[in-house]
Structure 1
Amino acid sequence: MTTAPTAADTRARAEEHLRALVGRDDVALHEDQWAAISALVVDRRRALVVQRTGWGKSAVYFIATLLLREQGAGPTVIISPLLALMRNQIAAAERAGIRAVTVNSTNIEQWDEVHAAINAGEVDVLLVSPERLNNPGFRDEVLPRLAATCGLLVVDEAHCISDWGHDFRPDYRRIRTLLAELPTGIPVLATTATANQRVTDDVAEQLEPVAEVRGAPAPSLDTRWVEVRGAPAPSLETTSPAVLVLRGSLDRSSLRLGVVRLTTPEQRLAWLADHLAEQPGSGIVYCLTVAATQEVADYLRSRGHRVAAYSGQTEQTERLALEQALIDGEVKALVATSALGMGFDASLGFVVNLGAPDSPVAYYQQVGRAGRGAIEEASVVLLPAIEDRDIWNYFASLAFPREELVRETLAVLAAEGRPMSTAALEPRVDLSRNRLETMLKVLDVDGAVRRVKGGWESTGQEWTYDAARYRRVSEARAAEQRAMLDYLGSAECRMAYLRRQLDDPAVLADPGWTCGRCDNCGGLALDTAIAEEAINAAAERLARPGVPVEPRKLWPTGLPTVGVELKGRISPALEEGRAIARLTDLGHGAALRGLFALGPDGAAADGPVPDSLARAMVAMLQDWRPRVDAIVAVDSARRPELVRDLASGLSRFLRVPVVGSWAILDPSVPPEKGATNSAQRVSAVSRRAGLRLSDPGAVSGARVLLVDDLWATGWTLTLAGSALHEAGASAVLPLVLGTQG
């Protein structure tokens, strides 16, 4: 007979694996690392590890995997949110002799091979994206077998489980179902570096559903049987094991935090151009929007810096190449959105945020990309802007839909009685495809719908709209935004402030703690001087008006279901047009956001085109030089004077007549009807408006300038352009003040 290894033997073996993993003989496990490994391997418990970036969370699950595999356990399943993270994890696993594979959207051709290797026992670690968990084939055919045979389940970036977290992802909610299906005794590890106490409690609750307490009602979360390292566990007799919660200090001793507050966009761009070369090593310049990454990268390249733009819209092959270029130091910086975030593992010397994220927790997550590995000192600079709040509000508007829209979706699915694809469902519900898809994922986890081959189907189960919870989440988001604004003007230690926002127990126990490294502590001196030449160059770049307006190419699917007989490719009536700027742009975007802002009563201000935008329009036209014979304006219910003034000014400047309008024929259809859904929008615009010309032949053979104030969905101008094409126009060029995209 063989005896089970003792805890001492297991720890000794764990440290052998650690030395192989890091390639050094002088390393040992942190006590909390061993506590987590022991909980998983010796006690077969569930654990939540909330520790700073670089603490060694991946070492915990790789070492636990090796120990469990030596004991005959099945492979570890790691749920990992980002492909970049998967690549790094597989490379780390291979260094320790761990056979790791992944199943994700980029290696479909390898899935059969991967599944065969798993069945043959040739895989130690399988990494899957959370989206795979709800793929019908994977969920129904592969996942049950994995749940029955895996030796360890790991949930990386576990704050994504919680809708209280800064990066909630509906696909992560499927993990709750997976946890319920695990056989007794399968250990579970959840890890994150960015969770405050509210998120920690929520994740812990999902890891271990409240069990029956003998002789007493189930306690609330804050008094139940979750053991927190460093605090005694509540003395409750339970029918299920405790969740071990390990929360350590979130101080990052390598980071030097600072804020540079400048008044104008050109000053912020100029500061970046003047001081980017001073930042140590290579790093990331974070922007809040895709458009800003392109604009900033273009400007910095014009000033001689080696930078590149990176966002969720960057093609996958290019993203891989850019990530490697940053790791290798071939570029000074990637100018990126938060798409370059969780899991990107590189030794970076700095992070600059051009615009503030909407919460201290999200900010801590982004700055955590710097100062890892052998980097002893990393510079972290925040350049906030007034317009940050406008962008926060825009993203907040994409929250979970109103109850009536959810009920409408459920009713459509129930009435259909068969699976419907998202594309088929979209024309029937006034939601954009992304919001509809996100909502359906939440409803799937809630049990009201089910994802199947062919789309979504109703389960017929009763569903409750948790308005109180959604309201609390919204209130929490607003509080986090206020906390981010307070951070900007705070005179206290920057790192202490962020750690308190994350409810770091170490700093809460020592209220007087300071980092000694930030600008407020005196450890970082940021030069705010900007060369006049740089400011002028930035101002010139930002003042340069003109962004392309790309015409729509295809009619939305499902239009016949809403009474519109259009489908397929759109006749090439619209050519590429122009706008002065995007509303999110750094330069003219500010003036456009002010122009289109609604008052407290929801009403729009109206009046002639502001002088600054009129001058920008003239400059853009002088650069674009469109060849047109006539102008047609889009009637506006909200800003009629603005559009009329724009059309008449263009007529005088270009010396071509205004020959008609895309006129409001049915004012009972609200101006914004269907604005979030393409099919609904086409239907609404078709009912609301039509072409009205000064005479029937006014546009025959003409090149027409089609004028409106704002390009939002693009469907108004597309329908107007199609009508002009049918009326004989040879070409239609859209021209607007601004675009929302």
Structure 2
Amino acid sequence: MDRVTTAITDLRADAEATLQRLAGPDAVLREDQWAAIHALVAEGRRALVVQRTGWGKSAVYFVATALLRARGRGPTVIVSPLLALMRNQIEAAGRAGIHAVTVNSANTDDWQDVYGQVQAGAVDVLLVSPERLNNPEFRDQVLPELSRTAGMLVVDEAHCISDWGHDFRPDYRRLRTLIAELPSGVPVLATTATANDRVTTDVADQLGVSHSRDAQRSAAGPWDPAEALVLRGELDRASLRLGVLQLGKGADRFAWLAQHLDDLPGSGIVYTLTVSAADELAAFLRERGHAVAAYTGKTDPADRERAEDDLLANRVKALVATSALGMGFDKPDLGFVVHLGAPQSPVAYYQQIGRAGRGVERAEVLLLPGPEDRDIWAYFASLAFPAEPQVRVALSVLGDAGRPMSTAALEPRVELSRGRLEMMLKVLDTDGAVRRVKGGWEATGRPWEYDGARYTGLARARRAEQQAMLDYIATDGCRMEFLRRQLDDPGAAPCGRCDNCTGHRHDPTVGEDVRVQAQETLDRPGVPIAPRKQWPSGMDALDVPLKGKIRPEDAAEEGRALGRLTDVGWGPRLRPLLRADDLVPDAAVDAAVEVLKGWDWAQRPAGVVWLPSRARPVLVESFAQRIASIGRLPLLGALADSAPPRYTDPEDDSEPEPPNSAQRLAEVYRRLSVPPGIDPRSGPVLLVDDVADSGWTLTVAAALLRRAGAPAVLPLVLATTG
């Protein structure tokens, strides 16, 4: 046996031993796991691994880390997108004797200690979020040393680097610059479970990983060391039993889950498309005696961690979750994944159902689509990269400022919501047109071209993915084969396990008592509207003399809406109502009466005022008239409107994009006033409108009425977008 063969044999033996510490004494490396480890450790190459959830991608980078550290290399830096995923990775690393630490938004007090451990060589793995890469202090003070000393870079959930992927994160794009600055011979590994050919090619290009290997070819044989390695396996999941159950009404879907949740094996996840749906469903299931918890992006971090632990320990039957519980959550015995509402692409759906059945022989996967799904998809589509004129305005403002500007200071000058503005700035940062610095953002002055063809293609691809999701729901063919073809898996074939392959369907029937209770729950109107507490920053740039905290003597009281546009129960009723301008229907008035009966105000309203509306004047005025008549309250009239509002209908796709908070505030501040005919001094005013979106219309109207003598203002609206 020659020296090279002996070295390879010894390396594999070390790799197998490390894997057994990680996964147990019976664990054996898959051939493609070994191929990736050998390429990383022995040859310092770059590799892209696209393999199904549960295949063992994390084993590749943990085993490679242990082997590299044993050979005197520096720590592995893992870029990981979610806190839940980081926690799982740290626990897994510990099982293999690997010391892993993290720097993220939840442990800011530990950052300096962590940096000290890294510099002292005491850390084997440092996990960071992609957003951390462009924190000015981390980027300028920590990252250069990490780039110089890192033993390996791992990009987990690498599909996030591609805006063709289902979970695009702009900060991932900064990795291209980081990789370019790594010393020669530092291995780079990118991993994902959900990437079709287009995403795989884009990720490989952005990471400088050439597409040099056949997707299904084993890497056990010899290769050119100059080439990067792309390993892509089949995506079938033999444990999953896929099915679709179309029940239509939200109450029927709530009732089905309440009646059949205990029939599903083990514990699992029920995914919803919105935060409000998760909260509603979790509350209803608890009322029916089920041990469940809600898990969303708005859940307190400590509560989220507690919920994860409860699911891992089977102390709950299910977490009712949004996509906040997604990538990397590791519970091998998860027995089911149910979706209340369809994700907007088969690729995203495959990623989420991949949580189930990793360590059990059978897991149930069920989709309960709803009529509201398309409206929710349309909302998410509206958050795409802005049009070129808006981008140019932002670049011009930054260029003229001559100093760093915070996002809040930039917001009044650019017609974009805060979230879209921040996303745009991150993309421009990775493109080199702007730079994040202490104090905000600054223009670099570098030339920048708007890639209109790419963004048009993205919009077209999103529409195609949404149609594919509808096709998945409607297909009479194999569901797993359908998903695998969407992921460009050349091995896609009928699974023999799904509802279409077997003819086995979930029983759609529910008891009348639970259906009635579900309907009553979803019919229950009343959503609190928290009053605004502070004016947006930078209003002086718009010649609006408002800043700081809103004075208590100008503030509205907590308001009420009949429901949210995203609610499973009220959303489907409110959205059609807001698409027309007709007299308010009796059902909405009856619901408003129920809300008023349950409103625990300090003092009963003494009169009704309504807000003027260009889009729905009949609806709003008739709503105010009906409420005043039923409550026997004086109808004081409408506020005066000096100009037609620019922003009219958030439900109409043909309308211009709503302005952001600062510009919305400036607009209503300039046009609203209290006319001479309204005297609000006799008692609290009930302020009626159709939709509460940004909240600034209600805030300005309340301040005007308070200054005109109203002792309190109580907003009442048909719907809220929150």
TM-score range, shorter chain: over 0.9
Aligned partner (choices 675, 684, 692) of residue 692 of structure 1: 675
Aligned twin of 1:354: 340
Asked whether the equivalents of residues 660 and 693 of structure 1 are also in contact (C-alpha less than 8 Å), the reply is: no
Aligned twin of 1:602: none
Q: Tell me the distance in 2 between the aligned counterparts of 1:669 and 1:339.
A: 34
Give the CA deviation at 1:515: 1.3
Aligned twin of 1:474: 459
Aligned twin of 2:318: 333
- Cα 1:225–1:291 change in 2 (3 A) is closer
Asked whether the equivalents of residues 165 and 195 of structure 1 are also in contact (C-alpha less than 8 Å), the reply is: yes
Q: Tell me the distance in 2 between the aligned counterparts of 1:595 and 1:15.
A: 63
Aligned twin of 1:221: none
One-letter identity of the residue aligned with 1:658 = L
Asked if residue 609 in structure 1 is aligned to residue 584 in structure 2, the reply is yes
Secondary structure of the residue aligned to 2:270 is strand
Give the CA deviation at 1:506: 1.8
Asked whether the equivalents of residues 661 and 693 of structure 1 are also in contact (C-alpha less than 8 Å), the reply is: no
Asked if residue 161 in structure 1 is aligned to residue 161 in structure 2, the reply is yes
Asked whether the equivalents of residues 51 and 192 of structure 1 are also in contact (C-alpha less than 8 Å), the reply is: yes
- Cα 1:705–1:352 change in 2 (3 A) is same
Secondary structure of the residue aligned to 1:73 is coil
Asked whether the equivalents of residues 580 and 736 of structure 1 are also in contact (C-alpha less than 8 Å), the reply is: yes
Give the CA deviation at 1:621: 2.4
Q: Tell me the distance in 2 between the aligned counterparts of 1:432 and 1:488.
A: 33
TM-score using structure 1 length: 0.93
Give the CA deviation at 1:701: 4.2
Aligned twin of 1:219: none
Q: Tell me the distance in 2 between the aligned counterparts of 1:733 and 1:538.
A: 30
Q: Tell me the distance in 2 between the aligned counterparts of 1:69 and 1:232.
A: 27
Give the CA deviation at 1:376: 1.5
Asked whether the equivalents of residues 162 and 168 of structure 1 are also in contact (C-alpha less than 8 Å), the reply is: yes
Any idea what the Cα deviations from partners look like across 1:437-486, whole Å, max 9, x if unmatched? Answer: 11101000000000111111000011111000001111111100000000
- Cα 1:265–1:670 change in 2 (3 A) is closer
Aligned partner (choices 435, 443, 454) of residue 458 of structure 1: 443
Q: Tell me the distance in 1 between the aligned counterparts of 2:291 and 2:478.
A: 33
Alignment of 1:231-380 (within 5 A): 231=217, 241-346=226-331, 347-373=333-359, 375-380=360-365
Q: Tell me the distance in 2 between the aligned counterparts of 1:635 and 1:112.
A: 54
Once the two structures are overlaid, the 10-residue window that deviates more, 245-254 or 563-572, is 563-572
- Cα 1:668–1:230 change in 2 (3 A) is closer
One-letter identity of the residue aligned with 2:593 = V
Asked whether the equivalents of residues 353 and 365 of structure 2 are also in contact (C-alpha less than 8 Å), the reply is: yes
Once the two structures are overlaid, the 10-residue window that deviates more, 486-495 or 111-120, is 111-120
Secondary structure of the residue aligned to 1:505 is coil
Give the CA deviation at 1:3: 6.9
Asked whether the equivalents of residues 635 and 661 of structure 1 are also in contact (C-alpha less than 8 Å), the reply is: yes
Q: Tell me the distance in 2 between the aligned counterparts of 1:670 and 1:96.
A: 57
Secondary structure of the residue aligned to 1:340 is coil
Asked whether the equivalents of residues 449 and 458 of structure 1 are also in contact (C-alpha less than 8 Å), the reply is: yes
Asked whether the equivalents of residues 287 and 353 of structure 1 are also in contact (C-alpha less than 8 Å), the reply is: yes
Any idea what the Cα deviations from partners look like across 1:226-265, whole Å, max 9, x if unmatched? Answer: 22354599xxx99x93221111011111111110001211
One-letter identity of the residue aligned with 1:474 = A
Aligned twin of 1:214: none
Q: Tell me the distance in 1 between the aligned counterparts of 2:211 and 2:274.
A: 43
Aligned partner (choices 547, 551, 571) of residue 589 of structure 1: 571
Aligned twin of 2:144: 144
Secondary structure of the residue aligned to 1:548 is strand
Give the CA deviation at 1:670: 5.3
Give the CA deviation at 1:618: 2.4
Once the two structures are overlaid, the 10-residue window that deviates more, 68-77 or 290-299, is 68-77
Aligned twin of 1:61: 61
Asked whether the equivalents of residues 517 and 523 of structure 1 are also in contact (C-alpha less than 8 Å), the reply is: no
Aligned twin of 2:12: 11
Aligned twin of 1:418: 403
Asked if residue 619 in structure 1 is aligned to residue 594 in structure 2, the reply is yes
Alignment of 1:629-708 (within 5 A): 629-667=606-644, 671=648, 675-695=658-678, 698-708=679-689
Aligned twin of 1:564: 544
Aligned twin of 1:531: 511
TM-score using structure 2 length: 0.95
- Cα 1:47–1:480 change in 2 (3 A) is same
Give the CA deviation at 1:568: 1.7
Asked if residue 393 in structure 1 is aligned to residue 373 in structure 2, the reply is no
Any idea what the Cα deviations from partners look like across 1:45-80, whole Å, max 9, x if unmatched? Answer: 111000011101011011111111222211111111
Q: Tell me the distance in 2 between the aligned counterparts of 1:294 and 1:659.
A: 37
Aligned twin of 2:535: 555
Asked whether the equivalents of residues 204 and 211 of structure 2 are also in contact (C-alpha less than 8 Å), the reply is: no
Asked whether the equivalents of residues 682 and 716 of structure 1 are also in contact (C-alpha less than 8 Å), the reply is: yes
Q: Tell me the distance in 1 between the aligned counterparts of 2:521 and 2:211.
A: 59
Asked if residue 732 in structure 1 is aligned to residue 713 in structure 2, the reply is yes
One-letter identity of the residue aligned with 1:680 = Q
Any idea what the Cα deviations from partners look like across 1:256-308, whole Å, max 9, x if unmatched? Answer: 11100012111111111110111111111111000111111111111111111
Aligned twin of 2:652: none
Aligned twin of 2:124: 124
Q: Tell me the distance in 1 between the aligned counterparts of 2:119 and 2:533.
A: 46
Secondary structure of the residue aligned to 1:126 is strand
Any idea what the Cα deviations from partners look like across 1:17-37, whole Å, max 9, x if unmatched? Answer: 11111121x321111111111
Secondary structure of the residue aligned to 2:549 is coil
Give the CA deviation at 1:113: 1.7
Aligned twin of 2:101: 101
- Cα 1:583–1:230 change in 2 (3 A) is closer
Secondary structure of the residue aligned to 1:309 is strand
One-letter identity of the residue aligned with 1:321 = R
Once the two structures are overlaid, the 10-residue window that deviates more, 538-547 or 623-632, is 623-632
Give the CA deviation at 1:693: 4.2
Asked whether the equivalents of residues 413 and 458 of structure 1 are also in contact (C-alpha less than 8 Å), the reply is: yes
Cα root mean square deviation, aligned: 1.9
Aligned twin of 1:443: 428
Q: Tell me the distance in 2 between the aligned counterparts of 1:667 and 1:121.
A: 64
One-letter identity of the residue aligned with 1:714 = G
Secondary structure of the residue aligned to 1:555 is coil
Asked whether the equivalents of residues 32 and 218 of structure 2 are also in contact (C-alpha less than 8 Å), the reply is: no
Give the CA deviation at 1:425: 1.2
Q: Tell me the distance in 2 between the aligned counterparts of 1:288 and 1:230.
A: 34
Give the CA deviation at 1:596: 1.8
Asked whether the equivalents of residues 433 and 443 of structure 2 are also in contact (C-alpha less than 8 Å), the reply is: yes
Gaps of 5+ in 1: 210-223, 508-512, 598-604
Alignment of 1:166-245 (within 5 A): 166-208=166-208, 226-231=212-217, 241-245=226-230
Asked whether the equivalents of residues 647 and 659 of structure 2 are also in contact (C-alpha less than 8 Å), the reply is: no
One-letter identity of the residue aligned with 1:617 = A
Aligned length: 706
The percentage of aligned residue pairs carrying the same residue is 61
Aligned twin of 1:133: 133
Aligned twin of 2:653: none
Give the CA deviation at 1:372: 1.9
